[in-house]
C-alpha cells in the first residue's frame, strides 16, 4: 500500500532541501490497506516480469532536487541527461567503478519501457504494477502520471495502472521510479544526516549518512518488478489459520473480493498429489481435513515442509460479462505454542539450531539472485540447520517460499535495527513502525515457516520511552496476528530492559570473549551461564541465544587460538556449545550463529572488507567453524525423538 506524503510531488519538492528532509515525514504513513497476494499466474491471471537492464541516473545536484525541479518523470530519462544501464533486481552501489555511486545518498532514478499485449488493454481487466521492494522511499510514475508512493524497503507495494495504459494503447508503457535511500531518525532502519560545515576540512555541501547498524546500506530496486493482470472484480486477499488433532485438521479461511458485492466463491483444498481433500464456499469458513499431513520442520519429520494448495475461484457479473478469478495459495497445517520452557510445533518440542543471515553478495549487493538463494538453502541443509532469523529485515518472498517448501523455520524480523536515538522512540517513529508490521504480517501471515515475529534488533531498550514503545508495538502485532508469538532481539542488560516484559520469547545477543573480554575464552562458561540464569529468573520465559560468534579471516591460523583466526572462531563456538547443552535441558530453546556468511559493512577500522563472523565466506566457501557447527547440528537432530529411524540412519551416514 502506498504511503502518501502530504502534497504529493509538490510536497516532495518542498521537502527536498535540506537533504535530511528529502524523504517525506514518516508521520504521513497510512496503515496497510487491502491485500498483497504474491503474483501467481492462473487461468485468470497473467504475469510479465520486468527484470533486466533499466536506464538509471543518480541526481548529483547539490540538493539532490534536480530530478523533481526539472520533472524528469515527464519524458524519457535519456532526454534529461546522461544515463547508464542498471540491472534490476540489484543494488546500484557495486555495479560501476564510481566510488561516488557506491556511497551515494539521495535520489536516484530508474526507467523501463514496456510493450503490453493487446489483450491486456480490454475492458474488465486490471493491470497492476508491483515492486517486491525498493530502498527506501519510492515514487513511481507511468507515462508521466504518478501512481504510487511507498515508504520503507524490504516489503512489496503495487499500483493499479489500468486506466493509464488503457487510455494510451498505442505507446509503450514508460515506468519511472525515483528512489531515496536517506535514513532519518524516523525511518526503519533509522539514521541521521550529518553536514560537515568546516570548510578547512570538508568541501562545500559535504555530508555523511550516519547509521547504527553493522551492514552496508545497499540501495536500489532489490526484488522483482512485475506487471500482472486480474479481472476487474478480483480476489484481493486470503487469510488462512490452521488447527489440528491427530485425526482432523481445520483450515479456517477468509477471502476478500474487490470490485463488486455480487459474487460467488468456491474453494478446493488439494494435497500434493492433486487430490481434493476438502471443499467450501463463501467468503469465510472452515475446511476439515481427515488424517492430515502436517507441516513439519526440516529434520523433525521424514516429510518436512508438506503443503496443501487452496484453490479459490470467484465468479461475478460486471458490465454484462461473467468474470472469473482464480488464485491458488500454498497452505501448511501446523500449530505453534510457547510455554515457560518450550517452543512447541504441532505439540512437539522444537529446538532452533540455525543461523542468522543477510541478503548480501558480491556485485549484486542485496539484489535477488536465484543461484545464490538455491546455494544458500543447499548449504543450510548440508549444515543441518533447521531455522534462521531474517536479520535484520524481511527477506524476499521467493526465499520465504523455499522456507515453506523445505521446512526451514523462520523468525520473521522487521527492519527495526539501529533504534538507538531517543527521538527514534517518539510517536512519529512508532506510527511508522506499526505500519511496517502491518505490511509484514499482511505479506507473510499465511506462511507455515514463519513461527514468530521479531519487531526489532538490539534497540536501546534501556531508555525510558522504550517501555511504552514496545508495549504498544507488540500489542499491535499480536492484535494483527494472535496465532504467533512475538519477540524482539535484545543486547540490553536483563535488569534494565524495558521491552522484555512484553515478549513471549527472550532472544538475547552476546559476544563474550569478543566484544567483551576480547581474547579470553575462559570467561565464557561463567558469563553465559549467568546470562541465562538471570534472564530466566527474571521473566520465566524460554530463551534463544539469537546471536553469538567471532570474526575469522579465512586461512588465518593460530595455535593457541588467537582472535581473528579460524581456530579462535571454533574454540569460541565450542565454549558456547558446552553451556547450551546444559541449559537446553531446562529453558534454552535455540541457538542461532552470527553469521551464516561474511557480509559487507561500512568501512571502519574494525572491518576489513566487511564483517567476517560468517561460518562461510561471502563466496559461500566453508571455514573451519562450519564443520564444527555441522557436526553439532546433525548430532542434535539425531538425538531428537521426533525423527523416524530411517532419518536417523541417514544422519549417521552423513
Please identify every residue annotated as catalytic.
458
Query: How far apart (Å, rounded) are the C-alpha atoms in residues 174 and 143?
Result: 5
Query: What is the DSSP-derived secondary structure letter of residue 199?
Result: T
Counted residue by residue, the chain has a size of 654
Contact assessment for residue 7 and residue 208, using Cβ atoms and an 8 Å cutoff: no
Kindly state the cell numbers that stand for 482: 494472535
Rounded (to 5) percent helix, strand, coil in the chain: 25, 30, 45
Helix axes 524-539, 566-583, angle to 10 degrees: 40
Kindly state the cell numbers that stand for 499: 521491552
Strands 450-457 and 409-413, bridge-based pairing: parallel
E strands in 161-307: 173-180, 191-195, 207-211, 225-231, 234-244, 248-258, 263-270, 276-281, 284-290
Query: What is the DSSP-derived secondary structure letter of residue 523?
Result: G
Instruction: Provide the sign of the torsion angle of the four alpha carbons 627, 628, 629, 633, taken in this order.
Output: positive
Tell me how many degrees the CA angle 190-391-463 measures, rounded to the nearest 5: 45
Burial class (CB in 10 A: 0-12, 13-18, 19+), 406: middle
Q: Would you tell me how many other CB atoms lie within 10 Å of the CB of residue 384?
A: 22
Contact assessment for residue 407 and residue 295, using Cβ atoms and an 8 Å cutoff: yes
Contact assessment for residue 477 and residue 442, using Cβ atoms and an 8 Å cutoff: no
Alpha helices, DSSP H, located in 48-204: 66-69, 99-102, 162-167
Burial 618-628 (b: 16+ CB within 10 A, else e): bebebbbbbeb
Query: How far apart (Å, rounded) are the C-alpha atoms in residues 96 and 101?
Result: 8
Q: Would you tell me how many other CB atoms lie within 10 Å of the CB of residue 514?
A: 22
3-state secondary structure of 73: helix
- Phi-psi domain of 535 (left: phi exceeds 0; alpha: psi -120 through 50; beta: other): alpha
Query: How far apart (Å, rounded) are the C-alpha atoms in residues 254 and 264?
Result: 13
Contact assessment for residue 262 and residue 316, using Cβ atoms and an 8 Å cutoff: yes
Query: How far apart (Å, rounded) are the C-alpha atoms in residues 302 and 645?
Result: 9
Contact assessment for residue 222 and residue 89, using Cβ atoms and an 8 Å cutoff: yes
Contact assessment for residue 187 and residue 26, using Cβ atoms and an 8 Å cutoff: yes
Contact assessment for residue 39 and residue 47, using Cβ atoms and an 8 Å cutoff: yes
Instruction: Give which of 603, 435, 445, 589 is closest to 504, Cα–Cα.
Output: 589
Query: How far apart (Å, rounded) are the C-alpha atoms in residues 259 and 233?
Result: 4
φ and ψ of 507, to 5 deg? -115, 120
Kindly state the cell numbers that stand for 549: 560468534
Amino acid at each position: 500500500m502506498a504511503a502518501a506524503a502530504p502534497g504529493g510531488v509538490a510536497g516532495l519538492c518542498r521537502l527536498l532541501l535540506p537533504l535530511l528532509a528529502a524523504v517525506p515525514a514518516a508521520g504521513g504513513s497510512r496503515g496497510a490497506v487491502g491485500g498483497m497476494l504474491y503474483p501467481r499466474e492462473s487461468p485468470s491471471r497473467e504475469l510479465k516480469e520486468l527484470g533486466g537492464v533499466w536506464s538509471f541516473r543518480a541526481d548529483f545536484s547539490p540538493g539532490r532536487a534536480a530530478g523533481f525541479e526539472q520533472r524528469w518523470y515527464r519524458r524519457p530519462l535519456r532526454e534529461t541527461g546522461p544515463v547508464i544501464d542498471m540491472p534490476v533486481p540489484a543494488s546500484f552501489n557495486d555495479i560501476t567503478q564510481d566510488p561516488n555511486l557506491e556511497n551515494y545518498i539521495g535520489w536516484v532514478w530508474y526507467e523501463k519501457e514496456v510493450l503490453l499485449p493487446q489483450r491486456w488493454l480490454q475492458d474488465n481487466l486490471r493491470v497492476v504494477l508491483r515492486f517486491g521492494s525498493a530502498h527506501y522511499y519510492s515514487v513511481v510514475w507511468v507515462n508521466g502520471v504518478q501512481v504510487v508512493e511507498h515508504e520503507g524497503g524490504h516489503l512489496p507495494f503495487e499500483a493499479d495502472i489500468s486506466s493509464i495504459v488503457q487510455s494510451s494503447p498505442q505507446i509503450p508503457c514508460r515506468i519511472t521510479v525515483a528512489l531515496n535511500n536517506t535514513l532519518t531518525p524516523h525511518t526503519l532502519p533509522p539514521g541521521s544526516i550529518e553536514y560537515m560545515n568546516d570548510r578547512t576540512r570538508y568541501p562545500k555541501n559535504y555530508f555523511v549518512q550516519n547509521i547504527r547498524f553493522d551492514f552496508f546500506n545497499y540501495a536500489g530496486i532489490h526484488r522483482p518488478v512485475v506487471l500482472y493482470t486480474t479481472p476487474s472484480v478480483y480476489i484481493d486477499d486470503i487469510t488462512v489459520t490452521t488447527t489440528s488433532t491427530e485425526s482432523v485438521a481445520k483450515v479456517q479461511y477468509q477471502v476478500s473480493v474487490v470490485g463488486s458485492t455480487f459474487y460467488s466463491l468456491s474453494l478446493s483444498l488439494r494435497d500434493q498429489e492433486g487430490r481434493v481433500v476438502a471443499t467450501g464456499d463463501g467468503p469465510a469458513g472452515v475446511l476439515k481435513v481427515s488424517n492430515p499431513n502436517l507441516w513439519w520442520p526440516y529434520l523433525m519429520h521424514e516429510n518436512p515442509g508438506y503443503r496443501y494448495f487452496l484453490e479459490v475461484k470467484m465468479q461475478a457479473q460486471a458490465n454484462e460479462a461473467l468474470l472469473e478469478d482464480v488464485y491458488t495459495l500454498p497452505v501448511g497445517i501446523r500449530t505453534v505454542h510457547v510455554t515457560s520452557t518450550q517452543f512447541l510445533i504441532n505439540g512437539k518440542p522444537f529446538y532452533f539450531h540455525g543461523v542468522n543471515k543477510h541478503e548480501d553478495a558480491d556485485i549484486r549487493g542485496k539484489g535477488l539472485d536465484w543461484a545464490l538463494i538455491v546455494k544458500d538453502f543447499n548449504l543450510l541443509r548440508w549444515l543441518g540447520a533447521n531455522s534462521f532469523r531474517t536479520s535484520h529485515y524481511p527477506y524476499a518472498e521467493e526465499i520465504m517460499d523455499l522456507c515453506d517448501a523445505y521446512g526451514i523455520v523462520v523468525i520473521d524480523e522487521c527492519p527495526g535495527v539501529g533504534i538507538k536515538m531517543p527521538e527514534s522512540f517518539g510517536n512519529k517513529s512508532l506510527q511508522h513502525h506499526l505500519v511496517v508490521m502491518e505490511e509484514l504480517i499482511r505479506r507473510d501471515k499465511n506462511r507455515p515457516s514463519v513461527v514468530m515475529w521479531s519487531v526489532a534488533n538490539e534497540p536501546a531498550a534501556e531508555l525510558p520511552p522504550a517501555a511504552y514503545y514496545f508495549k504498544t508495538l507488540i500489542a499491535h502485532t499480536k492484535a494483527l496476528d494472535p496465532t504467533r508469538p512475538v519477540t524482539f532481539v535484545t543486547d540490553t542488560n536483563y535488569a534494565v530492559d524495558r521491552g522484555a516484559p512484553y515478549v513471549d520469547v527472550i532472544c538475547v545477543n552476546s559476544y563474550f570473549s569478543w566484544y567483551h573480554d576480547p581474547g579470553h575464552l575462559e570467561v565464557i562458561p561463567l558469563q553465559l551461564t549467568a546470562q541465562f540464569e538471570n534472564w530466566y529468573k527474571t521473566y520465566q520465559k524460554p530463551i534463544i541465544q539469537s546471536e553469538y560468534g567471532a570474526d575469522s579471516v579465512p586461512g588465518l591460523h593460530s595455535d593457541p587460538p588467537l582472535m581473528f583466526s579460524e581456530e579462535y572462531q571454533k574454540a569460541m563456538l565450542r565454549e558456547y556449545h558446552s553451556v547450551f547443552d546444559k541449559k537446553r535441558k531446562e529453558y534454552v530453546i535455540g541457538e542461532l550463529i552470527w553469521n551464516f556468511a561474511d557480509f559487507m559493512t561500512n568501512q571502519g577500522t574494525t572491518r576489513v572488507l566487511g564483517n567476517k563472523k560468517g561460518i562461510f565466506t561471502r563466496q559461500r566457501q566453508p571455514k573451519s567453524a562450519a564443520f564444527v557447527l555441522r557436526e553439532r547440528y546433525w548430532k542434535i537432530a539425531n538425538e531428537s525423538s521426533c525423527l523416524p529411524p530411517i532419518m536417523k540412519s541417514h544422519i549417521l551416514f552423513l
